[in-house]
Amino acid sequence: MTLVMGVVNVTPDSFSDGGRYASHEAAVAHGRALRLDGADLLDIGGESTRPGATRVTADEEQARIVPVIETLAAEGATISVDTMNAATAVAAVAAGARVVNDVSGGLADPDMMSAVAATEADVVLQHWRGHSADMYRTAVYDDIVGEVVGELGERVAAARAAGIPDHRIVVDPGFGFGKTPEQNWQVVRGLAQLVTSGHRVLIGTSRKRMLVVAASGAGIELTGEDRFDLATAVTSVLAAQAGVWAVRVHDVAATRLALAVRTAWEGEG
């Protein structure tokens, strides 16, 4: 069964939700609402990774998210922390997080792999070629699917070398990170290579620009969260059919409904 990971951005500059959950109270309330909508995990982050975003200090990141993690974990939520900082990962796990979702795949902080290895948390290793300020400068590939799979393999090897066992490793092709929308769709079409690589796969297409490109190809203007979330729900169903472990989404209810319809259609469960 494909799990649904709900996004909680505790940031003032998020591209997808405009910083509406930047306060502790708003973030906790949103996390609770996502759980009621059917989220299996909550991915809590305190640093925006939108194109052109500036970095925040680890102290500021922790001040934003650790209290939120503590509150929601105490209520029984399964928490993933979205961070590139080893110190934040350690603090988040101590606060109750069970997954470290590093969009840099351990490249942004050389201490990340050893920090996660010293915990019992799982780690998500995303394909990444640089920080968001210049991520599109690196979007040059000869064989994008082969290169993404190969570079993720290098990150898996680094995790293993640090002492993280395979059963705690998840890989993510990194849609929108160092890839144009057209390149993202090429990776989608090669998703089977990742799914059969031996590790769980997480994907995050939610409210990404690649959906705008898909819609415009059909003469549809994709505006407003409702339309974005409908398109995301479709990708969630296709990802489930491909065998991914989890989908990371902003609108949990739409994706949960789409997956339920897919289950009924296929006669599963």
Alpha helices in 84-224 (DSSP H): 86-95, 112-117, 144-162, 181-189, 191-195, 209-216
Residue carrying the six token digits 């300020």: 133
* Residue 101: C-alpha distances to residues 52, 205, 241, 256 (Å): 20, 15, 23, 21
Go through the chain and tell me how many residues it has. Answer: 269
Structure tokens at 87: 């110190």
Beta-ladder partners of 171: 125, 201
Residue carrying the six token digits 């080893």: 86
Axis-axis angle for helices 181-189, 209-216 (nearest 10):
90
Catalytic residues: 208, 248
Q: How many CB atoms lie within 10 A of CB 242?
A: 16
CA atoms within 13 A on the CB side of 208: 25
- The one-character DSSP state at 252 is H
Q: How many CB atoms lie within 10 A of CB 197?
A: 14
Torsion of CA 85, 185, 232, 263, to 10 degrees: -110
Structure tokens at 61: 């990141």
